[in-house]
Structure 1
Amino acid sequence: MSPDELVSVRYMVDDVDQAIDYYTRHFGFERGHNASPAFAEVIRGRLRLLLSGPKSSAGRPMPDGRKPEPGGWNRIHLVVDDIAAEVERLRSAGLRFRNDIVSGPGGQQILLDDPSGNPIELFQPAAG
């Protein structure tokens, strides 16, 4: 797949190697380029997740002194077939959730944090 067929999202992470392990072990991402401890990429389908550590160029302070850091509310959105089963599997593996499953007109969702505090949304679309 060529780079322009991928959608890239950058996450600031505290530990690049820990993030690689987390996303490949729990969510089916494949390893891509690895320049740890500064930077790495993991890929799932057409999603290229850029994992930028504190030593990466993306981690440099802004001119006003603010430092890029993990966390916030923007997130990757992963569609699952059975949200209850996925939540059970991930809780059993010790992963941290921000909330419980919530239902809305489009389906069900839940948020969890990666090891650096970046949010991931699991989403099961409504039937039919």
Structure 2
Amino acid sequence: MTEELASVRYLVDDVRAAIGFYTAHFGFAVRTDAAPAFADVVRGPLRLLLSGPASSGARATPAGSLAAGRNRIHLVVDDLDAEITRLRAAGVPFVSDLVSGPGGRQVLVEDPAGNLVEVFQPA
């Protein structure tokens, strides 16, 4: 294994919209842009594979999978309150209220295709 990035594939309806969402709201950088089929964006050691309907990754997903909507990427921030304010002002859709637990606080937002992003501030 020569690559030192962790890769996660998200199926998206619109690759361009997904690129815009992750670069504008979460500081990802575009690594590959083969829209409308595919793109990958990077933030630190995370490589997010954005697979459109025409990509091979999208065709390999079994119909009716129970995993849809349960998995998410987890992005750590220093000031969750400031991030919530910034994301709300930008019109990013929230799918949860602020949740606090022993490990920290979190909120879930949704990308343009409905994939979840957990924005988390450690305790």
1:10 counterpart letter in structure 2: R
Tell me the secondary structure at the aligned position of residue 3 of structure 2: helix
Equivalent in the alignment of 1:84: 81
Q: Tell me the TM-score normalised to structure 2 length.
A: 0.92
> Which runs of at least 4 in structure 1 moved beyond 6 Å after TM superposition?
none
Task: Please give the alpha-carbon distance, in whole angstroms, between the structure 1 residues aligned to 2:2 and 2:73.
Answer: 18
1:102-127 Cα offsets, whole Å, 9 max, x none, are 1000000110100100000000000x
Q: Does 1:56 align with 2:43?
A: no
Percent of paired sites with the same residue: 60
CA–CA distance in 1 between the matches of 2:75 and 2:44? Answer: 11
Which residue of 70, 73, 78 maps to 1:73? 70
RMSD: 2.0
Quick check: 1:74–1:119 contact (8 Å CA) kept in 2? yes
- 1:30 maps to 2:29: yes
Structure 1 unaligned blocks of 5 or more: none
2:108 to 108, 111, 116: 111
Relative to the length of structure 1, the TM-score reads 0.89
- 1:47-77 CA distance string (max 9 Å, x none): 0000000000112156xx7278xx5110000
Larger C-alpha radius of gyration, 1 or 2?
Answer: 1
| Change over 3 Å in CA distance of 1:3–1:116 after alignment to 2 | farther
Query: What CA distance in whole angstroms lies between the structure 1 residues aligned with 2:31 and 2:11?
Result: 17
